[in-house]
């Protein structure tokens, strides 16, 4: 008769099997936990230095000396990087006294000869007052997240643009909108710069078109959590989903695949007037919003770099 093996006789085999299982489980865990390397890398520290530099200009309200200094800083930065820089200038009546305010959308072009282009945008003016601040509603508004974050983000992205291989050979324009919130009272007009830009795009003859637009607003919050924004899903569902898909592929969990807020922002004129499918990447859960506490201390370069990683991957894998 054949005798059954007792467990201590097969113990070496079991030990061997357990070892194999452990090795395969742990290597699988490593593969899933590690974020894929995205090249070229977005420099978190340098982007935070840009954010600080911009905030040291204090208030950057449309038409103010701080705004003029910022325009100089940004245009010098991109001219050094050999991008084409120009201003789109117009006047808008001041909401309080009606006198004309000189507005400047700042446009930075990469591969200006390309006829199919991607628009990456932010606003670079700051709100006149931190009117949601309970103690100092007439105090100084710095706008580290609501203003400087988008600018610092595009400045750092500019450093890696030449090393990127952009899908389909698309050209890219960085557009800094003026007059996003030259707002003193409840009913004052928002989005002056993006409205003007969208109308010019619609009515002026041109030999190029924007395939997609992406707007960056409030992306430096230390506690970053970016949900899909409802108007972006309504006007640009394919684009919006592709960005969150890029986040999934690069392991950036701060991009959460759920819709949350419906936000009125510079992406509305781009979608509604210019008909450029545009997504707003915005972290709207920011307690310091429109208060004196919107300062660099509540922001982080690591957050900017997370958005940067997603965007660099997306630019190289545009659907």
Please report, as residue ranges, which positions from 180 to 199 form the binding site for Zn ion (by CB under 5 A).
Answer: 181
Q: Is 265 in the site for Zn ion (CB under 5 A)?
A: no
Query: Helix/strand/coil (H, E, C) string of the chain?
Result: CCCCCCHHHHHHHHHHHHHHHHHHHHHHHHHHHCCCCCCCCCCHHHHHHHHHHHHCCCCCCCCCHHHHHHHHHHHHHHHHCCCEEEEEEEEEECCCCCCEEEEEEEEEEECCCCCEEEEEEEECCCCCCCCCCCCCCCCCCCCHHHHHHHHHHHHHHHHHHHHCCCHHHCEEEEEEECCCCCCCCCCCCCCHHHHHHHHHHHHCCCCCEEEEEEEEECCCECCCCEEECHHHHHHCHHHHHHHHHHHHHHCCCCEEEEECCCCCCCHHHHHHCCCCCEEEEECCCCCCCCCCCCCHHHECHHHHHHHHHHHHHHHCCCC
Minimum distance from residue 289 beta carbon to Zn ion (Å): 7
Specify the residue, 108 or 288, whose C-beta has the smaller distance to Zn ion: 288
- Closest distance of CB 59 from Zn ion, Å: 13
Cβ-proximal residue to Zn ion, closest one: 146
Residue 217 contacts Zn ion per CB under 5 A: no
Q: Which is nearer to Zn ion, 146 or 173 (CB)?
A: 146
Instruction: Rule CB under 5 A: say whether 283 interacts with Zn ion.
Output: no
Number of residues interacting with Zn ion: please give it, by CB under 5 A. 2
Indicate the residue among 68 and 263 with the shorter CB distance to Zn ion: 263
- Residues contacting 15, CB < 8 A, separation 6+: none
**Residue 150 or 213 having the CB closest to Zn ion:** 150
Q: Does 221 help bind Zn ion (rule: CB under 5 A)?
A: no
Q: How far is the CB of 87 from Zn ion (least distance, A)?
A: 22
Nearer residue to Zn ion within complex by CB, 146 or 156: 146
Q: How far is the CB of 53 from Zn ion (least distance, A)?
A: 20
124 or 314, CB closer to Zn ion?
A: 124
The interface with Zn ion within residues 118-147 (CB under 5 A) comprises: 146
- What minimum distance in Å lies between the beta carbon of 287 and Zn ion? 14
Q: Measured from the CB atom, is 190 or 314 closer to Zn ion?
A: 190
156 scored as a contact of Zn ion (CB under 5 A)? no
Closest distance between Zn ion and the C-beta of residue 48, in Å? 20
- Residue 217 Cβ vs Zn ion, minimum distance, rounded to whole Å: 8
What residues make contact with Zn ion under the rule CB under 5 A? 146, 181
């Amino acid at each position: 008769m054949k005798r059954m093996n007792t467990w201590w006789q097969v113990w070496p085999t079991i030990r061997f099997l357990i070892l194999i299982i452990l090795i395969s489980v742990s290597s699988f865990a490593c593969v899933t936990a590690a974020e894929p390397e995205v090249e070229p890398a977005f420099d978190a520290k340098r982007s935070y230095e840009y954010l600080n530099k911009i905030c040291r200009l204090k208030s950057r309200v449309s038409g103010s000396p701080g705004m003029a200094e910022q325009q100089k800083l940004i245009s010098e930065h991109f001219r050094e990087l050999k991008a084409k820089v120009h201003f789109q200038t117009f006047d808008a009546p001041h909401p309080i006294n009606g006198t004309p305010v000189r507005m400047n959308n700042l446009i930075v072009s990469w591969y200006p000869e390309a006829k199919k282009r991607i628009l990456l945008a932010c606003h670079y003016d700051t709100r006149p007052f931190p009117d949601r601040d309970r103690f100092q509603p007439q105090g100084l508004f710095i706008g580290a997240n609501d203003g400087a974050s988008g600018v610092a983000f595009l400045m750092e992205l500019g450093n890696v643009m030449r090393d990127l291989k952009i899908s389909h050979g698309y050209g890219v324009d960085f557009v800094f909108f003026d007059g996003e919130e030259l707002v003193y009272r409840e009913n004052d007009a928002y989005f002056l710069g993006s409205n003007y830009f969208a109308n010019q795009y619609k009515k002026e003859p041109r030999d190029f078109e924007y395939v997609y637009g992406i707007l960056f607003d409030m992306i430096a919050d230390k506690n970053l959590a970016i949900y899909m924004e409802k108007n972006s899903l309504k006007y640009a569902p394919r684009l919006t989903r592709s960005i969150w898909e890029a986040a999934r592929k690069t392991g950036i969990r701060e991009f959460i695949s759920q819709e949350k807020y419906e936000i009125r922002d510079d992406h509305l004129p781009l979608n509604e007037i210019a008909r450029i499918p545009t997504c707003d990447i915005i972290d709207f859960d920011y307690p310091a919003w429109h208060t004196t506490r919107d300062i660099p201390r509540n922001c982080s370069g690591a957050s900017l770099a997370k958005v940067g990683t997603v965007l660099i991957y997306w630019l190289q894998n545009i659907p």
